[in-house]
Structure 1
Amino acid sequence: MSKFAKWLGAGVGFTLGGPIGAILGYALGSFVDGFSINDFTAEQQQYQQQTQRTNHRVHATAGDFEISLLILSSVVIKADGRIDQRELDYVRMHFVNMYGKKRANKAFNLFNGIIKKKISTREVCMQIRQHMSHASRLQLIHFLFGIAKADGVVSTSEEQQIHTIANYLYVNDYDYSSIKAMFYDESDSAYKILEIEKTASNDELKKAYRKMAKKYHPDKLQGVGQEHIAGAKEKFQKIQLAYEKIKKERGLS
């Protein structure tokens, strides 16, 4: 087994099986001659078999989050029928920032294989939502909007694809609209981010801010690795900025 496959196998758990495992096998096989998903170590194969026998609920690791990002990113990038270099650059840059250049290069090599594969978004999302926390799934949606906006505008097809992914991940419309508003410069974006109407009272505004700050606090992502905290902080900061903007408009201290 190649060093690349060993690197991948060491960092993932639930993603070794199911539809995601099949995608990984295809992607690795595209640049590792004769490779298949069965070429992981004996210990990892045993882990998969035990998981399937006992229907054990395995929680996401940093590696699982990484693989989920790669696969869903490829779906969004292809949503408008073309692969934009700026979007590819965004994915690479984001991975370099999170993991460092060496690990990011390995991830992007894998991504080049994934993006060639036809993917069942529904099946992939079903596998992700069984193991990944709600906070982690919200972070995935935030990242996908960042990719879509990398070329300056979120196209209709990209937004529709992200919405479909959000539905499959059981992200409700309130949470989806909140994250979406973080990437649109509209007059009511701040209110959408806090999931309230413009007619909300000042007390309702404060209550909404406390609720959203708690929901999007970076500590919610501790389970999937420190490398993802930066993205969570960015999302959390947008909640704070939305609150400050509305307070300023209303003359609140």
Structure 2
Amino acid sequence: MSFAKWVGGALGWSFGGPIGAIIGLAIGSLIDGAAEQKGFLLGDGNSQNRQSSRPSSRHRTQSRTRTRPQTQSGDFEVSLLILASVVIKADGKQDQSELNYVRQQFVSMYGKDRANHAFRLFKNISKQQIPTRKVCLQIREMMDHSSRLQLLHFLFGIAKADGMVTDDEVSQIYMISGYLGISSRDYSSIKAMFYNSSDNAYKILEITKEATDEEVKKAYRKMAKKYHPDKVIHLGKEHQKGAEEKFRQVQKAYEHIQKERGF
């Protein structure tokens, strides 16, 4: 599969708006020849395909007042690439271990060929000045909550790839989570999965140490439902693997508290 066909076939709602502009610029530096660039940006020349790739303003207005369109795997992938580039540059440098983490994660999720396409795009995205707020607001408007939580989990994984999460990275991810419409409780829950402390198990379940045993059990059921891999099944099997990691962290946190309290 050619690079142009891979990207063109992967994008849905992310083809427009600020994300579309970022991707268009990145593609422009990767694809030689005006004809081939036109083929990517406009589909196969069929007007019906072009209209379906980028919703009309009327359709976008209707989607705001009704329900979000289902996020495609490609939309999630592109959102991931852009936000990953923001986090990696948060401390003023691109650490090789973080770049390796991104590449390894994409190989794990997509296989070597697709990962190579994605990483080529990522390197060109990372050269741009990203309008973080605008990008996040587009994602927030179009992407379901469970998928946004999965984005946040991946971003913390990138920050931790070099062995530590810097204050600059934490600040950047916190800002991104706010723009994405993720609550402070959900943010703290996912953040706790990447730290070791005595109260992390409680933070993951979004409760305090003062919670009763029954409240712990109730919190576990709630979080297990929230982070269940089936919540992102529409993104494809490749993204369920990341969701399974969050789910395991919830189970591990609950088992820790069970052992600690002896119930």
> Normalised by the shorter chain, which TM-score bucket?
over 0.9
218-227 or 50-59: bigger deviation: 50-59
CA drift at 1:49: 5.2
TM-superposed CA distance for 1:155, in Å, is 0.4
Tell me if the contact between 1:87 and 1:151 (Cα under 8 Å) persists in the aligned partners. Answer: yes
Q: How does 1:122-161 map to 2 (within 5 A)?
A: 122-161=133-172
**Structure 1 Cα separation of the partners of residues 78 and 95 of structure 2:** 21
Shift of residue 148, structure 1, vs aligned partner: 0.1
Using the alignment, how far apart are the partners of 2:22 and 2:112 within structure 1? 24
Name the counterpart of 2:109.
98
Equivalent pair of 2:8/2:41 in contact (CA under 8 Å): no
User: In 2, distance between residues paired with 1:81 and 1:68?
Assistant: 21
What fraction of aligned residue pairs are identical, expressed as a percent? 58
Higher mean alpha-carbon deviation, 224-233 vs 33-42, is at 33-42
Is the contact between residue 76 and residue 235 of structure 2 (CA under 8 Å) also seen in structure 1? yes
Check if 1:42 corresponds to 2:45: yes
Distance 1:204 1:21 in 2: 44
Matches within 5 A, 1:213-224: 213-224=224-235
Paired residue for 1:109, among 110, 117, 120?
A: 120
Output the CA distance in 2 between the equivalents of 1:51 and 1:106. Answer: 29
Moved more, 33-42 or 69-78: 33-42
Aligned residue in 2 for 1:200: 211
* C-alpha distance in 2 between matches for 1:84 and 1:147: 10
Counterpart residue type for residue 14 of structure 2 = T
Cα displacement (A) at 1:116: 0.3
Between 33-42 and 20-29, the greater mean CA deviation after superposition: 33-42
After the TM superposition, list the runs of 4 or more consecutive aligned residues in structure 1 that deviate by more than 4 angstroms. none
Q: Which runs of 5+ in 1 are unaligned?
A: none
Q: Name the counterpart of 1:51.
A: 56
Amino acid across the alignment from 1:115: S
Decide which moves more: 34-43 or 173-182. Answer: 34-43
| Structure 2 residue corresponding to 1:121, chosen from 124, 127, 132 | 132
Inter-partner Cα distance in structure 1 for 2:107 and 2:218? 37
Deviations 1:206-253 (A, max 9, x none): 00000100110000001111111110000000000000001111112x
Kept after mapping to 1: 8 A contact 2:11/2:53: no
Letter of the 1:54 counterpart: H
- Do residues 25 (structure 1) and 36 (structure 2) align? no
Alignment partner of 1:239: what SS? helix
1:160/1:219 CA distance change after superposition, 3 Å:
same
The alpha-carbon distance between structure 1 residues 204 and 239, as it changes in their structure 2 partners (threshold 3 A), is same
> 3-state SS of the aligned residue for 1:42?
coil
Q: Is the Cα contact below 8 Å between 1:14 and 1:59 reproduced in 2? A: no
Could you say which residue in structure 1 is the equivalent of 2:185? 174
Query: Residues 12-71 of structure 1, C-alpha deviation per residue, up to 9 Å, x if partnerless?
Result: 100111100100111111121354774443344222454334225333101111111101
Moved more, 53-62 or 199-208: 53-62
CA RMSD of aligned residues (A): 1.5
Rounded Cα–Cα distance in structure 2 between residues aligned with 1:51 and 1:21: 14
1-structure distance, mates of 2:248, 2:209? 21
Q: Does the 8 A contact of 2:13 with 2:55 survive in 1?
A: no
- Name the TM-score, length of structure 2 as normaliser: 0.91
8 A contact 1:16–1:48 mirrored in 2 = yes
The aligned residue for residue 82 of structure 2 is: 71
The equivalent of 2:201 in structure 1 is 190
TM-score (norm 1): 0.95
Query: Which amino acid counterpart does residue 12 of structure 1 have in structure 2?
Result: L
Q: When the two structures are aligned, how many residues end up with a matched partner?
A: 251
Aligned to 1:3: 2
Q: Which runs of 5+ in 2 are unaligned?
A: 64-68
Q: Who is 2:174 aligned against? A: 163
